[in-house]
Structure 1
Amino acid sequence: MGVGLSSGTGRPGRHLPRRDDPIGSLTGGLCERLRLRPGRGGTIRAEGRRVDALAFAATVERAAAGLSQRGLCLGDVVGVLAPVSPDRFLATYTVMAVGGRALPLSPASDPDVQCAALAETDARLLMVSADLAPAALELAERSRVRQVISFGDALGTTPFEELLRPSPDGTGYSPSRGLFDNGILGYEETGAGLLTTLYPHSDLMARFVALRERLELTAEDVVAVDERGEEATRVALVALALWTGACVMTGSRCPTPEGRRVTVRCFPEPERVAAPGLPV
């Protein structure tokens, strides 16, 4: 399959910096911000799972350092195979935080298309949810992927927890790494073959800023995202919610926090559907 590479939507992303703007990647500086503002951090949730935003952001930084120690280079492509969930966002933000390009694969895509996307982007690493590990190992056999990292125990994969081990030489995470060639790769089938599109950090930041101005999120908001919609917009919206201290619900089966209602939805376009703080 042939690949055409474009540069996202072409948005310049030139905005005056703010003290609470991401540095280098969409989560660069988030962990420090949440540490300085205890009690204002939100959560990211899935069915049967709840992760505090501070713990999530700290894990991104530790895992990014782990990937760097394992030789991930700036601009390297890493596949992500997981449903819309905390794991999918954790993997995507981690790759961008270390200066790489995340290639989120839709679990609903045909395996041949998934394999073609991995091969054409020269991905050598695949991060996967534990339930999709067998499919990921099969994709690795058919592509150039040499290592599969799994969120959970799965035979034939490397546990994600190994990325969180302390560095032997004491080096840690630096947000400046994300200032290089990071971003998200999208893909679609066309009459001419497989088309991949790069959404660089400048494009993602433009979306982040536009959503911040339009939605005016607060810590009282509940943001719902699922498999529908555009990946780059979804990733920017979730990052904005984490920076704001809002609650993020991922997937179509995630229950609403008790006594609260969804106030912002991502599909078909991010929009406010209710005022924050209103009783159910």
Structure 2
Amino acid sequence: MLSSGTGRPGRHLPRRDDPIGSLTGGLCERLELRPGLGGTIRAGGRRVDALTFAATVERAAAGLSHRGMCLGDVVGILAPVSPDRFLATYTVMAVGGRALPLSVSSDPRTQRAALEETDARLLLVSADMARAGLDLAERSRVRQVICFGSEPGTTPFDELLRPSPDGNGYSPSRGLFDNGVLGYEDGSGGLLITLYPHSDLMSRFCALRECLDLTAEDVVAVDEEGEEPTRLALVALALWTGACVVAGSGCPAPEGRRVTVRCTPHPERVAAPGARA
């Protein structure tokens, strides 16, 4: 059963530095124009700078479009809270799709039911989830598994980054259509699927911007706890602000710095910007 989102009407008018159409729409251009802004996403010893991340989202979104993904299509994502999970989710929304991030702690039956209920035909997985992703594909309508790595039976994510054969570029305005993120929960009446559209995500983005007042000196920690839509809005806000994101449990802050904002149980400031360890 599909319900509407949480009722946020998205009344906020876009600012010049607001996302366009999706949470990362226009981010690449902003970071290119402001090279000193910085910003990174870190997890498990891996570090991705914000500009590289934003540019990869745009290239991968173009790659999905060239492979026939249509506006409103649902794409499953199986990865722990990490740069891969955020990259996959923002990419799907950037091309006008609906992202369905699966909890790695959900049992395979529930994961499979969520894919079937939403008629997902594509699944993006992290390398450590490749085997589980292939098993899900065998028992669902998923036709292709794209992996952040090179695993037998999957399509490497890097193939999405190849230049367009017809030379067409990418426009973030494609995300102005029916994109968003899907959440699911197993209730007494069966699996409940909830759509959080772009208007809801932008409302969360704007609310977090007002209450947290992030700066480039902040370190934002996100893990498996908390709501997926809020986590996505918070990470996007950090990227737009130039802050550092540490993803996953146990991921340390950069040397000499400390976490200043945590996502769980709800986003809150726990230290002043630029706080030192």
Measured against the shorter chain, the TM-score band is: over 0.9
Give the superposition deviation at 1:8.
Answer: 1.2
Q: Deviations over 1:39-78 (max 9, x none)?
A: 2120001011000000000000000000000000000000
* Among 26, 29, 36, the residue aligned to 2:26: 29
Q: Percent identity?
A: 83
* Among 258, 262, 271, the residue aligned to 1:265: 262
Give the superposition deviation at 1:5.
Answer: 1.2
The one-letter code of the counterpart of 1:135 is A
Mapped to 2, the partners of 1:159 and 1:253 lie a distance apart of: 28
Q: Secondary structure at the match of 1:58?
A: helix
The one-letter code of the counterpart of 1:9 is T
**Conservation of the 8 A alpha-carbon contact between 2:19 and 2:27:** yes
Q: Deviations over 1:156-202 (max 9, x none)?
A: 00000000000011012111110000000000000000000000000
Structure 1 segments of 4+ aligned residues over 3 angstroms from their partners? none
* Among 33, 38, 41, the residue aligned to 1:41: 38
The one-letter code of the counterpart of 1:26 is L
Which residue in the other structure is 2:214 paired with? Answer: 217
* Among 83, 86, 89, the residue aligned to 1:89: 86
Do residues 55 (structure 1) and 52 (structure 2) align? yes
Which residue in the other structure is 2:200 paired with? Answer: 203
Do residues 134 (structure 1) and 160 (structure 2) align? no
Which residue in the other structure is 2:183 paired with? Answer: 186
**Conservation of the 8 A alpha-carbon contact between 2:22 and 2:94:** yes
Unaligned runs of 5+ in 2: none
Mapped to 2, the partners of 1:239 and 1:264 lie a distance apart of: 14
The one-letter code of the counterpart of 2:249 is S
* Among 245, 248, 251, the residue aligned to 2:248: 251
TM-score, structure 2 length as denominator?
0.99
TM-score, structure 1 length as denominator?
0.98
Mapped to 2, the partners of 1:139 and 1:253 lie a distance apart of: 28
Mapped to 2, the partners of 1:224 and 1:57 lie a distance apart of: 19
Give the superposition deviation at 1:253.
Answer: 2.0
**Conservation of the 8 A alpha-carbon contact between 2:181 and 2:196:** yes
The equivalences for 1:141-152 within 5 A come to 141-152=138-149
Q: Secondary structure at the match of 1:137?
A: helix
Mapped to 2, the partners of 1:13 and 1:88 lie a distance apart of: 25
Mapped to 2, the partners of 1:268 and 1:160 lie a distance apart of: 32
Give the superposition deviation at 1:100.
Answer: 0.1
Query: How many residues are matched?
Result: 277
The one-letter code of the counterpart of 1:197 is T
**Conservation of the 8 A alpha-carbon contact between 2:260 and 2:275:** no
The one-letter code of the counterpart of 1:93 is Y
Do residues 277 (structure 1) and 274 (structure 2) align? yes
Q: Secondary structure at the match of 2:184?
A: strand
Mapped to 2, the partners of 1:93 and 1:10 lie a distance apart of: 22
Which residue in the other structure is 2:12 paired with? Answer: 15
Q: Secondary structure at the match of 1:127?
A: strand
Give the superposition deviation at 1:279.
Answer: 2.5
**Conservation of the 8 A alpha-carbon contact between 2:219 and 2:245:** yes
Which residue in the other structure is 2:168 paired with? Answer: 171
Do residues 160 (structure 1) and 171 (structure 2) align? no
Mapped to 2, the partners of 1:129 and 1:90 lie a distance apart of: 11
Q: Secondary structure at the match of 1:11?
A: coil
Q: What's the RMSD between the two structures over aligned residues?
A: 0.6
Which residue in the other structure is 2:225 paired with? Answer: 228
Mapped to 2, the partners of 1:279 and 1:75 lie a distance apart of: 44
Do residues 103 (structure 1) and 105 (structure 2) align? no
Mapped to 1, the partners of 2:253 and 2:11 lie a distance apart of: 36
Q: Secondary structure at the match of 1:248?
A: strand
Mapped to 1, the partners of 2:70 and 2:230 lie a distance apart of: 25
